[in-house]
């Protein structure tokens, strides 16, 4: 008797999460073309950076495997950024846009729908990032032999966390924006240009006294930063160059350009998690208040 | 008709472009080297000490040294590994000054002595301009860069122990001219009072010494390796060195006579290094391996899986649905 109850409870649970799986499967099929495109781009970039570029004899191969990965991963922030903006922008706002809330007898709970959509897109973006890392790891193995540097796996873990953080940011925007296109454009502008400009201004004004930990773009630099051995210390560097002879009377001056290389591992991971929780909470609150 | 013309034009254009590409490809390879081809490839080779007999070494080669004298690190421990990564290369032309300073002076003098000698040479009129004016040889070579991890029994450190040049002379005949020029300049300089007062002198090198020094310090060979090595040995007129196939053999004298056999692999770099005593017993052996085959195996597996998947999808789509 108790066994039957247990079985019934399990069945109930499964039936409860079944719509999420259906939505997830549907989303995977729906985003197929976008996924193929990004997968193609990811593999192409990995081949270009990891192999084609190395065919030029005068272009020196990095001395260590970790440096090779670090150079190859310079594009990962662009890839994840564009993928996140294009895959996650329609998660919530497309429902408002298409007025699915007006369906009189909805077959699925709206939270399950959003969760299914989110997980579907997340799986696709994770596969794209994984493919990029796999290709790069393969080329690293070709040029340097085994074993694969353990820090590549750390970097992969940070990249996944970064993808989730980006997705939470885009999902948050998707929760209050009116259309998908608007969400894509606004998130792209903020993530691609906004954060970088803000970082530059902050660094210019505050120098090494204020670390731009608010910036998702800066937190993303941990993906490549974690590959460096030893870990960068100091993490704030200044490049100085003199402009002698460039002034109106042949004089010049000393110019200094500062840059934060990467956050510390602990702080970076912590803030990525904080970002994820914060933006998801905001998105959930906004979604709850906004009538679907 | 119009469509046919367009197609004809497109085909013609494609053929022309293809022709240009093929001509360019061949022209590049033809102009690159009249005799020998470069076979260097970016990648990592692992050198392993397969065998080392310390007592035999001391009784044959030198009582007070071990293989670490030639190869840095724990080369005197059987099973120790070293790693070399070819980072890249470029076409280069050296003049006599470059050869004199890079190949000879840096090899036989310490940094301080080198600075002293260069200062004296400059003061007595043996600077870059005068040497290159009097000795007009231009030597074409492929100058490569490699990162080397010293021999170790444990795991490799993160950063390489050092980086050094890999030299592939396009024409082995040049090596003879280099040595002759060195001998002439060295004789002139050794006769100079200021050089004599400094207490330094340029060593009198034989062809065998020079080839031995080159072999230990980054000489790589062009393809075909056997022809390249034979020409190198013959042109230099070595007495105690010879080549068989892709192997250089040095007959050397230590405590007793011994031979060193250096074989060059398909990349043109050292693939095996063997020291033998008079009775042909191996005292010391290093072999080179790499893991590129695993990469190709993985590629083949991925390719096979891809083809299998495509075939499965096509087969599944064509199968009539019940």
Tens of pLDDT, residue by residue over A24-54, are 888 899 889 999 999 999 999 999 999 999 9
pTM exceeds 0.90 for this model: no
Q: Provide the shortest C-alpha distance from residue B94 to chain A (in Å).
A: 17
Q: Which residues of chain B have pLDDT under 70?
A: 1-34, 320-322
Q: What is the pLDDT of residue B315?
A: 87
The pLDDT score that the predictor gives to residue A250 is: 54
Residues in B touching A69 (Cβ below 8 Å): none
What pLDDT, on a 0 to 100 scale, did the predictor assign at position B89?
A: 95
- A246 in contact with B at a CB cutoff of 8 Å? no
- Residue A96 pLDDT exceeds 90: no
CB contact under 8 A, B158 and A64: yes
Mean pLDDT over A151-179 rounds to: 93
Residue A42's closest CA among A79, A5, A77? A79
Report CB contact under 8 Å: A63, B290: no
CA nearest neighbour of A168 among A99, A87, A269:
A87
pLDDT at residue A288, rounded to an integer? 82
Q: Which residues of B touch A64 (CB under 8 A)?
A: 147, 158-160
Structure confidence at residue A113 as a pLDDT band (50, 70, 90) = confident
pLDDT at A193: 92
Nearest to B295 among A60, A63, A141 (CB): A141
In three-state secondary structure terms, B162 is strand
Q: What is the mean pLDDT of residues A222-237?
A: 89
Looking at per-residue pLDDT, the higher value among B28 and A18 belongs to A18
Residue A228 DSSP one-character state: -
Query: In angstroms, what separates the C-alpha of B148 from chain A's closest C-alpha?
Result: 9
Using an 8 Å CB-CB cutoff, list chain A residues near B291.
Answer: 141, 145-146
A251, pLDDT greater than 70: no
| Local confidence band at A14 (pLDDT 50, 70, 90 cut-offs) | low
pLDDT the model gives residue B27: 45
Q: Do B159 and A64 touch (CB under 8 A)?
A: yes
In this prediction, residue A144 has a pLDDT band, given cuts at 50, 70 and 90, of: very high
Phi, psi of A146 (to 5 degrees): -90, 175
Q: What is the ipTM of this complex?
A: 0.82
User: Which one has a higher pLDDT value, A68 or A178?
Assistant: A68
Q: Which of B37, B85, B292 to mutate to test the interface with A (most CBs of A within 10 A)?
A: B85
CB atoms within 10 A of CB A166: 30
CA A159 – CA A176 distance, rounded (Å): 26
Chain B residues at the A interface, defined by Cβ less than 8 Å, are 40, 42-44, 46, 83, 85-90, 145, 147, 158-160, 163, 290-292, 294-295, 298-299
CB contact under 8 A, A229 and B85: no
Residues in chain B closer than 8 A to A54 (CB atoms): 42
More confident: A13 or B102: B102
Q: How many CA atoms lie within 13 A of A138 on its CB side?
A: 20
Domain definitions of chain A by residue range = 20-289
Write the CA distances from A10 to A2, A113, B60, B111, integer angstroms.
Answer: 12, 21, 80, 79
**What does the domain layout of chain B look like in residue ranges?**
1-32, 41-304
Fill in the DSSP letter of residue A250. S
């Amino acid at each position: 008797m108790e066994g039957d109850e247990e079985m019934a409870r399990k069945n109930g649970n499964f039936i409860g999460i079944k719509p999420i799986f259906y939505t997830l499967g549907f989303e995977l099929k729906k985003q197929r073309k976008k996924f193929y495109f990004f997968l193609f781009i990811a593999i192409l970039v990995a081949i270009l950076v990891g192999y084609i570029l190395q065919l030029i004899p005068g272009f020196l191969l990095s001395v260590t495997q970790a440096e090779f990965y670090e150079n190859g991963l310079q594009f990962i922030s662009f890839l994840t950024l564009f993928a996140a903006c294009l895959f996650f922008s329609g998660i919530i706002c497309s429902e408002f846009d298409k007025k699915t809330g007006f369906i009189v007898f909805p077959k699925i709970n709206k939270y399950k729908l959003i969760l299914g959509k989110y997980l579907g897109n997340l799986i696709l973006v994770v596969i794209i990032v994984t493919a990029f890392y796999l290709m790069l790891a393969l080329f690293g193995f070709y040029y340097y032999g085994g074993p694969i540097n353990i820090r590549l796996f750390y970097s992969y873990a940070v990249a996944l966390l970064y993808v989730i953080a980006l997705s939470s940011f885009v999902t948050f925007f998707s929760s209050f924006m009116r259309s998908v296109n608007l969400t894509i454009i606004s998130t792209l502008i903020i993530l691609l240009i906004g954060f970088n400009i803000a970082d530059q201004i902050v660094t210019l004004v505050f120098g090494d006294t204020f670390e731009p930990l608010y910036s998702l773009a800066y937190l993303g630099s941990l993906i490549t930063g974690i590959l460096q051995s030893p870990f960068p210390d100091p993490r704030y560097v200044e490049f100085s160059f003199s402009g002698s002879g460039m002034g109106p009377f042949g004089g010049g001056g000393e110019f200094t350009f500062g840059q934060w290389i990467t956050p510390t591992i602990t702080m970076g991971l912590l803030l990525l998690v904080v970002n994820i929780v914060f933006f998801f909470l905001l998105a959930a609150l906004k979604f709850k208040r906004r009538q679907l | 008709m119009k469509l046919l013309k367009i197609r004809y034009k497109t085909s013609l254009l494609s053929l022309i472009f293809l022709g240009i590409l093929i001509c360019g490809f061949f022209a590049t390879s033809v102009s690159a080297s009249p005799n020998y081809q470069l076979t260097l490839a970016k990648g990592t080779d692992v050198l392993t000490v397969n065998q080392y007999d310390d007592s035999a070494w001391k009784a044959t080669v030198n009582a007070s040294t071990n293989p670490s004298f030639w190869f840095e690190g724990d080369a005197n421990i059987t099973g120790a590994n070293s790693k070399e990564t070819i980072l890249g290369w470029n076409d280069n032309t050296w003049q006599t000054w470059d050869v004199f300073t890079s190949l000879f002076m840096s090899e036989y003098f310490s940094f301080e002595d080198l600075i002293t000698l260069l200062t004296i040479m400059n003061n007595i009129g043996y600077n870059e301009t005068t040497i290159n004016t009097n000795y007009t040889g231009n030597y074409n070579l492929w100058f490569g860069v490699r990162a080397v991890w010293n021999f170790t029994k444990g795991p490799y450190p993160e950063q390489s122990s050092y980086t050094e040049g890999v030299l592939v002379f396009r024409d082995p005949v040049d090596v003879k001219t280099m040595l002759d020029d060195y001998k002439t300049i060295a004789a002139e300089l050794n006769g100079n009072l200021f050089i004599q007062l400094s207490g330094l002198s340029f060593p009198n090198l034989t062809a065998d010494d020079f080839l031995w020094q080159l072999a230990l310090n980054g000489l790589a060979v062009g393809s075909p390796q056997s022809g390249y090595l034979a020409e190198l040995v013959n042109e230099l007129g070595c007495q105690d060195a010879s080549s068989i196939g892709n192997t250089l053999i040095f007959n050397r004298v230590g405590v007793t006579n011994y031979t060193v056999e250096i074989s060059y692999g398909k990349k043109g770099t050292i693939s095996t290094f063997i020291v033998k005593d008079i009775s042909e017993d191996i005292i010391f052996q290093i072999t080179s391996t790499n893991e590129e085959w695993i990469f190709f195996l993985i590629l083949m597996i991925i390719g096979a899986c891809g083809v299998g998947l495509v075939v499965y999808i096509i087969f599944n789509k064509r199968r009539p649905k019940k």
